[in-house]
Amino acid sequence: MLGTAASSAATIPTIAHTANSIRRAFQTTTFDSLSSSHHPILCARFHFLSLRSFSNVSTKAMSHSQTLHASNYHPQSSAPGNKQALISLSDKKDLTLLGNGLQELGYTIVSTGGTASALENAGVSVTKVEQLTCFPEMLDGRVKTLHPNIHGGILARRDQKHHMEALNEHGIGTFDVVVVNLYPFYDKVTSMGGIAFDDGIENIDIGGPAMIRAAAKNHKDVLVVVYSQDYPALLEFLKGSQDDQQFRRKLAWKAFEHIASYDSAVSEWLWKQTGGDKFPPKLTVPLSLKSSLRYGENPHQKAAFYVDKSLSEVNAGGIATAIQQHGKEMSYNNYLDADAAWNCVSEFRNPTCVIVKHTNPCGVASSDDILEAYRLAVKADPVSAFGGIVAFNIEIDDIVVAPKYTEKGLEILHGKSKTLRILEAKKNEKGKLSLRQVGGGWLAQDSDDLTPQDIQFNVVSEKKPQDNELRDAEFAWLCVKHVKSNAIVIAKDNCMLGMGSGQPNCLESLRIALRKAGDEVKGAALASDAFFPFAWKDAVEEACESGIGVIAEPGGSIRDGDAVDCCNKYGVSLLFTKKMEMEKGKVVVEKVRGKSTVIRSFSKWVLPLPMLSGFTASPMAVALSPYSLGDSISVEFTIGDGCTAVLTTQSSTKVYKSLGSNCSEQVLEARIGSGALFVVIPDPVTCFSTARYSQKQVFRVVSDSSLVIVDWFTSGRHESGEKWDFELYRSSNCIFAEGNQPVFLDTVLLEQSSPVDIAERMHEYQVIAMVLIYGPKLKHIQDQVQENVKRLMSQQLQIPSTRLGCCAKTNSDNCLVRPAFIASCSAFGPKGMGVVVRVASTTTEAVYRFLHHQLAGMEPLLGVSPYS
C-alpha cells in the first residue's frame, strides 16, 4: 500500500525511488490477495508516480477495499535479446501459419482478444495485451492497445541510447514485428443490406491504424505486415541473417498505402452521410494495381492497369472487374476498346451487339436473334469491324465481351483462336463520377448514363415524328453518346446505318455518316452529340436533302431558329434533347477592391454564364442563355451590400414547341443587399407555336435596395406568320421586403383554353412589356419616367404621332382609334418607392426605343445605357 507523499521539492527523489521500487516489485510479484476489479487503479497510481518530475507531487492512499486480484495480469517486458511480435487481426486468414512460424523462431507473441483466442486454439503460446498494459479492454473495445507499454515498444529507436534508457526505466519491452489488419469497414458499409450510421462509426478502426503507422514509421527496427500474403516472405526474412532495409521499406510502404486506402473509404462514406455535394472539396481515389501491361497506347510507352477501390465502385461492374475466360493478356488499347464497347452495349435493353474500333462504335444493332444483331452490326461498317471488339448484352452460347457464356459457347470460342480474348463482365452501375486527367489535375463529371426515359425529346418543328421515327431517334441518341465528338449517327429499325466521328466540324462527320448509310438513309433518324452552329447550306440542310426523316440534337446554338426553319422547309422532324430536371445555377456578387465582382458562379447549363462585354464601370454584368429548350431552369442571385449587377440575355429567349403537356419553366430568385442595385434587362421572350412557358421571378430586398425589372414578350415568330399561337404564357414577378412582407405581386397569364383565343384578345398588338423601377437610388429616374409616360400618352390621345413608332389611326369620322403604342404608369410600395410601367405595341422595335429612352438616365450608374 502507498502512503501520502509530502508535497515538497526535497521529497521528490524519495518518491521517484519509491515508485521505481514499486514498479520492480509489481513486475515480479503475484498479488493473489488483491481484487482484480481494482487492478487498474494500482497501475494508474504507479505510473502517475513514475512520470512526475515537478515539485508538488501527491498520491492518495488506497484503502484495503481498493485492492485488486492480479492473478490474471502479469506485467511483462522483453528483456534484452528477447524477441516480441504483436499480432492483432480482424481477418485471421493464415493466422496459424504465422503464429507457429514466429513461435518456432523464438518470438514471444503478444495479442489481443479474438486473435489471442484463435492463436491459443491453434496451440500457440500467447501473452495477452492486458498483461503488458495492466489494463483490460474497455469502452466496448474502443481502447485496447492505446497505451505507452504498447506504443513505446513499437516507436523506440534502438540506435538512440536515451530511447532505450526510457524503456528500461518504465519497464517497457520492444516489439520487433507488428502484424495488424483493420476492422472490415470497407465490407460492412458496402454490404448489400447497407449499414446504420452508428454501426458504420463503430467499424472505424482506431487502435489498428495507430499501431500500423507507428511500426511503419519505425520500420528500421520494426517489421510491419498488413497483408496475409506477406506472411511467408516475413518468416523467410526472419530466418535470414542479413537485415535488408529495402524489404523493411517495402513493408512500411504497404502499411501506409493500406492506411491511406482505409482512410479514403472512411472519408468517402462520411462525406455521403453529410448530404454534401457530389463533388467534395477534396477527393481521394484509391487505386490498386491489377496488372502490368506489355506497352501503352504506343509500343514505346510503359503501361499498367489499376482497379478503383472507391466505395462507389464496389459491385459497380465494368471492364475493371471483368473475368478473362480465354486469350492472351489484354493490352492498353484492348482495355480502352473493351470499355467503350461494354459501356455502349450496356445502354440497350433489347438483345444488342456492338462492334468498336479505336473506342468508337462502328456497328450497333438490336434484334431478338442475337446472331442477326451481330450480322447487322458488321454490315454497318464491315471494313472497320475487322479486328474490332465485339460486345453483347445477353448470354452468348455460340458466338467478345458479354455478361455470361455457356460452356458450349466458350468451347466454340476457344477453338476460334488461341489469342482471342473473351471477357465476362457485369453491367455498369449508374450515378458514378467520371474522372479524366489533364496536366496538373483531374476533371470530374457525372457519368453520362442517362436513358431515353430520362430525356425530353422536345418537338420544335412543325412536323411531329411518327412513333417509329421517335424510336429510331432514341436508338440513334443512345449510339451517339458513345461516339467521339463531333459525332453523328444515322439509324433505322434498331440498326446503326452510318457513323461519323472525331471530325473538327459536324459537317464532315455528317458526310462520313451519310456515305456509310448509303441509300438506306431515306426516312432514317439522325442524332448529333452537339447542336448545329449552322443550318442553311450546312449540316442541317444537307441532312434534310439526303432524305433524313428526323433529327435529334441538344439545341443551344444562337442559330437554332435557322435549324427549325430549315427542317420545316424540308418537312423533317426536329427534336431537341434535354434532361428532365430543374437545372440550377447560382451567382454571387460581392465587392472586391471596390468593384462589384462575381465571386461564385455555378451553372449546369450547356451554355455557361459568360461575362457581358461593354460595361466599363464597376457594375457586374452577367448574360444568361437565351434559349428555353422545354426544360426547367432555376438560378439564384445574391447581390452583396453596395454592389451593382446587371442581368441580361444574349438575344431573344426562344421557347420551342412543347411535346404534349410539357411546359418550359424558368425560376429566378434574387436577394439584394443594402445599398445594392440589381438591373434585370433581358430581350423579349418569343414563344413558338404550341409552346408552353412559365416564368417566376422573386426578389427579396431591404429598405435601401434598388431594382429594375424589364419583363416582356412577343406574339411569336412574325416572319413565320405566327401570332399568339402558343398554348400558355405565364409570368409572375414578386418583390418581398424584410420579414417576407409583400411589396409587389404581379402575374400575367395568357392561355388558349379561354373562350376567346389570345390573338383575338390582343387585337393588333404584338408586344407586351412591363418595366418596374424600385428603390432610393432610382428616385430621379422614377420621376422622369412618370413624367415621360404621362406626356407621351397625352400626346397620343390628342394628336396622331409617329414618334416612337406610334401611328395612331382614325376612322372615317376622324375619331381616334386604338393607338399602335400604348403605356400606363403607376406608383407602388411604401411611400411610393416603386413605379411600374405597362406597355403594349404593334412592333418590337418601338418597345426597344421606348426602353432605351426611359432607362437612359441609368447610364451614370451602369457605365452604359440599357438597350443602346
- Which is the catalytic residue, given 163, 309, 358, 591? 358
Query: What's the Cα-to-Cα distance from 68 to each of 30, 72, 385, rounded to whole Å?
Result: 11, 11, 82
Q: Is 829 left (phi over 0), alpha (psi -120 to 50) or beta?
A: left
Give the residue among 688, 819, 684 at the shortest CA–CA distance from 764: 819
C-alpha cell at 222: 520494426
What is the Cα–Cα distance from 351 to 641, expressed in whole angstroms?
A: 60
Tell me the H-state helices in 528-642.
Answer: 539-546, 560-570
C-alpha cell at 815: 375619331
Give the torsion through C-alpha atoms of 385, 386, 392, 396, to 10 deg.
150
Is the CB of residue 345 less than 8 Å from the CB of residue 353?
A: yes
| Annotation marks residue 217 as catalytic | yes
Q: Which residues pair with 444 in a beta bridge?
A: 435
Scanning the structure block, which residue is given the C-alpha cell 444493332? 365
Scanning the structure block, which residue is given the C-alpha cell 404534349? 660
Question: For the residues of 703-769, what is the DSSP string, one character each?
Answer: TT-EEEEEEEEESS-GGGT-SS--SEEEEEEEEEEGGGEEEEEEEEEEETTSSS-HHHHHTT--EEE
Is the CB of residue 32 less than 8 Å from the CB of residue 73?
A: no
Strands 741-751 and 728-737: antiparallel
C-alpha cell at 126: 500467447
| Three-state SS sequence of 74-123 | CCCCCCCCCCEEEEECCCCCCHHHHHHHHHHCCCEEEECHHHHHHHHHCC
Strands 177-180 and 223-225: parallel
Strands 525-528 and 550-553: parallel
Distance, first Cα to last Cα, the chain: 96
Tell me the H-state helices in 662-765.
Answer: 758-762
Give the residue among 508, 515, 482, 489 at the shortest CA–CA distance from 360: 482
What is the Cα–Cα distance from 224 to 202, expressed in whole angstroms?
A: 25
Ranges of beta strands (E only) in 641-691 are: 644-649, 653-655, 664-672, 677-680, 685-687
Give the residue among 55, 53, 66 at the shortest CA–CA distance from 19: 53
Is the CB of residue 587 less than 8 Å from the CB of residue 670?
A: no
Give the residue among 760, 826, 748, 839 at the shortest CA–CA distance from 796: 839
What is the Cα–Cα distance from 224 to 86, expressed in whole angstroms?
A: 10
**Secondary structure element (H or E) that encloses residue 714, with its range:** strand 706-714
What is the Cα–Cα distance from 741 to 98, expressed in whole angstroms?
A: 75
Query: Cα 83 from chain centroid?
Result: 51
What is the Cα–Cα distance from 251 to 178, expressed in whole angstroms?
A: 11
Give the residue among 632, 636, 633 at the shortest CA–CA distance from 622: 636
Report the half-sphere exposure of 243 (CA within 13 A, side-chain side). 8
- Which is the catalytic residue, given 69, 74, 83, 217? 217
Q: What are phi and psi of 134, to 5 degrees?
A: 60, 30
Question: For the residues of 480-539, what is the DSSP string, one character each?
Answer: HTTSPSS-EEEEETTEEEEEE-S-SSHHHHHHHHHHHHGGGGTT-EEEESS--S--TTSH
What is the Cα–Cα distance from 325 to 536, expressed in whole angstroms?
A: 52
C-alpha cell at 36: 482484480
Would you give the DSSP letter of residue 250? H
| Annotation marks residue 569 as catalytic | no
Cβ neighbours, 10 Å, residue 537: 10
> What residues contact residue 479 under an 8 Å CB cut-off, 6+ apart?
344, 361, 364, 489, 491, 496, 499, 527
Annotated catalytic residues are 217, 358
